[in-house]
Amino acid sequence: MEAASYLLDPDLLREVLECPICLETYNQTQMRPKLLQCGHTVCRQCLEKLLANTINGVRCPFCSRVSRMSSISQLADNLTVLKILDCTTSCSAATAALMCKSCYNRLPRQYCHDCATFLCELCKEEGHLHQGHSIQPIRGGR
């Protein structure tokens, strides 16, 4: 079994579907993808933290440009990301195949050799690492 069972490039998808600050996979609620005025996207939760430190704007941690706003609702959602997410949860088997095989809620970052399965951080601990399975991160060292 090798990583070629992916139909899409998992690294690419991860870049699109993960908040670059907290590295969590976006969702429709607390981790909603919010588009900053500079074009970068962060999750709602991180945006709230960024906003808590400033008065009338958020400084993008990636390009340092300031998005002027006083509340999160003034920023648009990243609709492209939401569309892909919607697809992963409802319609597309191809993208659903990219998600963690245990919870289908997050992108996997670990591969269990014993189960030949891709897993997210949370699922890796419970069902696999504790059983003595050999787990390897899919990204890193590159």
Q: Which residues bind Zn ion (CB under 5 A)?
A: 19, 21-22, 38, 40, 43, 46, 60, 62-63, 100, 102-103, 112, 114-115, 120, 123, 128, 133
Select 9 or 114, whichever has its Cβ closest to Zn ion: 114
CB 21 within 8 A of CB 46: yes
Q: Give the shortest CB-5-to-Zn ion separation in angstroms.
A: 16
Select 92 or 101, whichever has its Cβ closest to Zn ion: 101
CB 66 within 8 A of CB 41: no
Select 70 or 131, whichever has its Cβ closest to Zn ion: 131
Select 16 or 60, whichever has its Cβ closest to Zn ion: 60
Q: For residue 94, which phi and psi values (nearest 5 degrees)? A: -65, -45
Select 15 or 114, whichever has its Cβ closest to Zn ion: 114
Give the whole-angstrom CA distance, residue 89 versus residue 111: 21
Q: Give the shortest CB-25-to-Zn ion separation in angstroms.
A: 10
Q: Give the shortest CB-30-to-Zn ion separation in angstroms.
A: 10
Q: Give the shortest CB-79-to-Zn ion separation in angstroms.
A: 18
Q: Give the shortest CB-133-to-Zn ion separation in angstroms.
A: 4
